[in-house]
Amino acid sequence: MKFRSWLATCSSSVTTADDQPIPPPKLPFSDDASSLFSDITNSSPISVISQETNNSLSSLQSNLSLLTLPSVPSLQNLSPGTLNLVISARCLNSLNPRNALVTFLAVHNNLLYAASSNEINVFELTNFTLIDTFNGKDPSSGSIKSVAFLNGKIFTAHQDCKIRVWKQTPVKQHKLIAILPTLEDRLRRFVFPSSYTNVRRHKKKLWIEHHDAVSGLAVNENLMCSISWDRSLKIWSGSDLRCSESIRAHDDAINAVVVGKDGTIFTGSADKRIRVWGKPKGEKKSKSKHGLIATLEKHKSAVNALALSSDCSVLFSGACDRSILVWEREDSANYMVVTGALRGHTKAILCLINVSDLLFSGSADRTVRIWTRGIEGQFCCLTVLDGHRTPVRSLVAAAETSESDGGSVKLFSGSFDGEIKVWQIGVSSSSGSPLKS
């Protein structure tokens, strides 16, 4: 039997000679990881690292990333002063859900959904009041890996291989309405031998079922994508909740998924690859199936996070190699090429989001970095948010476009010690006028 070191991959499953998937081992950034960081719980208080301090450390921190990706040039060659930008960042609040281990954060309809272990806590964004907690009575579902919203429904991805569907009641409580795959979908298929696939030796399951933890969800129009440690990508209909496609997408656990406005799907895996999926051009989209468009290879370790720019022309990928790679469309190449790397984090990149042309990255080094693009494809690290005592596992942000907010961004960062920090981020020109979001 061949084993791969989880220290080298951060997130991986083990494979036997017969290519039979075995559940991944305990990972340094798994949902039970808080005990691994008990030695750093007495870290310094909340602060925003100054640009001067950030610049003095950037050379050393970039060198750590260069050790793993020496052939990829660094892109963070600009400073806020070069771009005539002034950034303000302050911590507004700190939320502590009843369970530890914040595994995922999402914002929808002026509500913050915070997944902690096997339950979801829902907060009002205006005053951060806890208004509901759901799924807490079902510990058998395992930890919640992702939350998505489609057609008035809330979808949650779970460790127990299932996707749960919820509906919000008029009093803002959440009611379970379905578990995917649904019983109806199972009954439609269970009598047909072609509906089954081998998952292990002498064990079969319906192809509409995941057979390992569902690690991520992404939505586009009326479709939802789910990824899993079982290496598959599945496509679900948002209207009838049926599984329409199942793709063996990677050679190892899939950790990240994003969907572009045009329906193109990007998946990132512990096999160090990013794969791009789409439907053939010229065919009716309702009838055609997703196929592989490109495989993007440059990372030297597990890919943990993906994010798309606002116009979907740039893809950002974060991995255990401490680098954020920047991919841009180039038709003469294999769909996308690496233009460079954003360096500065000293440990694995765990989460990425892009809001209002600002890229936010969360890392196992317990910091959040804020990046923006400048001239000629170069980037600037605007600031570093410090204060978490354990790795930053999830980020979500909402642009605030009211006149009083001046186009600022409200950022939520969740870490393994169960803390959610609320930040107010503002970026303006040196003349004092806020940038448009």
For 357, counting Cβ atoms within 10 Å of its Cβ (0-12 exposed, 13-18 middle, 19+ buried), the class is: middle
205 beta partners: 197
For residue 63 the two structure tokens come to 């060198």
Cα–Cα distance for residue pair 65/404, rounded to 1 Å: 40
As a CATH number, domain 73-429 is: 2.130.10.10
Among 321, 267, 332, 277, CA closest to 298:
321
Distance linking the first and last C-alpha atoms of the chain? 52
Among 346, 436, 350, 292, CA closest to 29:
350
Cα–Cα distance for residue pair 284/302, rounded to 1 Å: 35
pLDDT of residue 333: 66
Cα–Cα distance for residue pair 223/210, rounded to 1 Å: 17
Cα–Cα distance for residue pair 353/330, rounded to 1 Å: 23
pLDDT of residue 82: 84
Output the CA–CA distances (angstroms, integers) from residue 111 to 129, 226, 228, 369, 396, in the order listed.
10, 23, 26, 24, 12
What's the pTM value of the predicted model, to 2 decimals?
0.84
pLDDT along the chain (437 residues), means of 10: 40 40 45 42 41 45 60 88 88 85 95 94 93 88 95 96 96 94 90 83 88 97 95 95 96 97 95 94 73 94 95 94 93 82 95 93 97 90 94 93 65 95 89 50
| Strand (E) or helix (H) holding 223 | strand 223-228
Among 385, 383, 437, CA closest to 413:
385
For residue 1 the two structure tokens come to 């039997």
Counting every residue written for the chain, the total comes to 437
